[in-house]
Chains A and B, each alone.
Chain A
Amino acid sequence: MRKPITNRTPAWVNKFPWYAVYIIGLLPAMWVFYMAFSNQLGGNPVRTLEHTLGIWALRFIIIGLMVTPLRKLAGINLLRFRRAFGLIAFYYAALHFSVYAVLDQGLAMDRIINDIIKRPYIIAGMVAFVILIALAMTSNSFSIKKLGGKGWSRLHKLVYLAAASAALHFVLSVKSWPNEPLIYAGIIAVLLGYRLVDPIKKRMSHSAALS
């Protein structure tokens, strides 16, 4: 059996109000919209706004995926904030998609639909977004009761697919292989890889204990 995890969560983290996570998490959005509306985003403000919101969605997906390894490997428990992390990621994804649809494509539905059915990077982005919508809609206590703890957990494992799709969306949206999308994809690959390795390790230590 593995050693039980010592709780090393700092006291201030335990006392940190959950609503403050939303406020801090949405500060970058407020900042970039302020910059956009005050004409300070340079020559291509639509793309900069779109890109910044997308990056923050990806960052909060990553933060959400770090909760479990942080608890299991470092004993720091942020479970209390995980719903906020996930919902903030969803808010950023929704803003990112809205800017794409409204400001970038000017709500030209033929173009948007064409993109969604034809362009792999947009398909990947949409897969991630649709999953985040489903997870956001079932992020309340009522849904947990309705779906049952097991069923709810299983549904919310879809976040792994959302994370992989979001990373792919970023990598496929650029020319050549610049570092930034690859770094995000690498971080997500490590965090998803952990989910693969952890149960194997658990099983191995379990069978070792039995023999």
Chain B
Amino acid sequence: MPRFDCPAIAASEITPRHAYLNRRNFMAGAAGLIGGALAAPSLLSAAPLKAASSPFSTNEKPTDKQYATTYNNYYEFGTGKDDPAANAGSLTTSPWTVKVDGLVNNPADYQLEDFIKPSKLEDRVYRHRCVEAWSMVIPWVGFPLSDIIKRADPKASAKYVAFETLMRPEEMPGLKSFLPVLDWPYREGLRMDEAMNPLTILAVGMYGETLPNQNGAPLRLVVPWKYGFKGAKSIVRISFVDKEPPTAWNLQAPSEYGFYSNVNPERDHPRWSQATEQVIGGGLFSARKDTLMFNGYGEQVAGLYTGMDLQKYY
């Protein structure tokens, strides 16, 4: 069994932990329990995860979990902030395969469990800044993306890492919208040095439990110094490539969403300011907060962009 698999859950514990899940999800979880130990971990929604603490965590107070799991952008489930929580319950996250391919010596198709097993899970409490000028603090559970890169053993020609996420219209109502909101499937990418940075993680959980579907279950990217949309959700493929890969929002509006998309209060979105952010969960009277360069992670990542004009490479 993988490290993050859940131990048997006492019946008395189920209701409170699942209180925020919708009925369908709950029923799926209950069915999994009835099925016994055969059930895959992701079917047991919100299974607890054991993880070590990390020096990269901020000691800011995490956003109320209720908000982090109900105020989401996951356009495959609809463009409204509450759509993902309402619609993602139907997503099947088990079985789940992750393809690692491209310019690597060890390409492979992994079952999720095998993909995660060699890594040591860590708690990473990160600031999360959305391009829409709001922010949260999220306690992720995950492991460095560099684990995966080392295992894949990229060839010298591999310069970028590309991520492709699940496109399954029968479970994702947002993919059936009248006008496609994005050029599906959702794709993201990082430069190799960004991908290798110790801050960059693949998350399998948040708030000490497996990821809720609306937050990108079962596996998502988290790059805390970039705008939230860089964090591809429900990843099915990781490819190593020699050229800057196409990315979903950049394809949609290249003048608004660059490949880098580093949090930068001095480079406004063409249509709105990025100088400040609304703090989610702060309530009706909370003041906007000043946005920090690289979302406050400059010490760890500013060196990646030495000599680059960040107004041009936004």
Binds A, one of B88-96, B142-150, B268-276, B302-310: B268-276
CA distance A48 to B166 in the complex (A): 29
Contact yes or no, A177 B67, CB < 8 A: no
CA distance A177 to B178 in the complex (A): 10
Contact yes or no, A44 B134, CB < 8 A: yes
Any B CB within 8 A of the CB of A121: yes
Given contacts A37-B284, A119-B272, A182-B179, contact A44 B81 (CB under 8 A): yes
Choose from B70, B75, B287 the contact partner of A42 (Cβ within 8 Å): B70
Chain A contact residues: over half helix, strand or loop, or mixed?
helix
Q: How far is the CB of A119 from chain B (nearest CB, A)?
A: 6
How many residue pairs, one in A and one in B, have C-beta atoms under 8 Å apart?
A: 77
Any A CB within 8 A of the CB of B19: no
CA distance A17 to B80 in the complex (A): 37
| Chain B: CB-nearest residue to A37 | B284
Contact yes or no, A115 B280, CB < 8 A: no
Contact yes or no, B71 A111, CB < 8 A: no
Please tell me the number of chain B residues within 8 Å of chain A, measured between CB atoms.
37
Residues of A175-202 whose CB lies within 8 A of B: 175-180, 182
Given contacts A42-B70, A42-B71, A172-B271, contact A179 B79 (CB under 8 A): yes
Chain B contact residues: over half helix, strand or loop, or mixed?
loop
CA distance A111 to B182 in the complex (A): 31
CA distance A174 to B181 in the complex (A): 11
Any A CB within 8 A of the CB of B25: no
Question: Which residues of B are found within 8 Å of A39, using beta-carbon distances?
Answer: 283-284
Q: How far is the CB of B145 from chain A (nearest CB, A)?
A: 26
From A36, A105, A176, name the one whose CB has the most chain B CB atoms within 10 angstroms.
A176
Any A CB within 8 A of the CB of B177: yes
CA distance A49 to B283 in the complex (A): 12
Any B CB within 8 A of the CB of A101: no
Any B CB within 8 A of the CB of A204: no
Q: How far is the CB of B77 from chain A (nearest CB, A)?
A: 13
Given contacts A47-B278, A106-B287, A106-B288, contact A179 B178 (CB under 8 A): yes
Interface flags for A20-64 (1: CB within 8 Å of B; 0: not) read: 000000000000000011010111111101000000000000000
Contact yes or no, B132 A175, CB < 8 A: yes
Q: How far is the CB of A50 from chain B (nearest CB, A)?
A: 10
Can you name 19 extra interface pairs (CB under 8 A) apart from A44-B278, A111-B275, A119-B273?
A36-B284, A37-B284, A39-B284, A42-B70, A42-B81, A42-B82, A43-B280, A44-B134, A103-B285, A172-B271, A175-B131, A176-B79, A176-B252, A176-B253, A178-B177, A178-B181, A179-B79, A179-B178, A180-B79
Listed A/B pairs (11) with beta-carbon separation below 8 Å: A43-B281, A44-B71, A45-B284, A49-B284, A106-B288, A111-B275, A119-B273, A121-B271, A174-B79, A177-B179, A177-B181
- Give me the interface of A with B, judged by CB distance under 8 Å: 36-37, 39, 41-47, 49, 103-106, 111, 114-115, 119-121, 172-180, 182
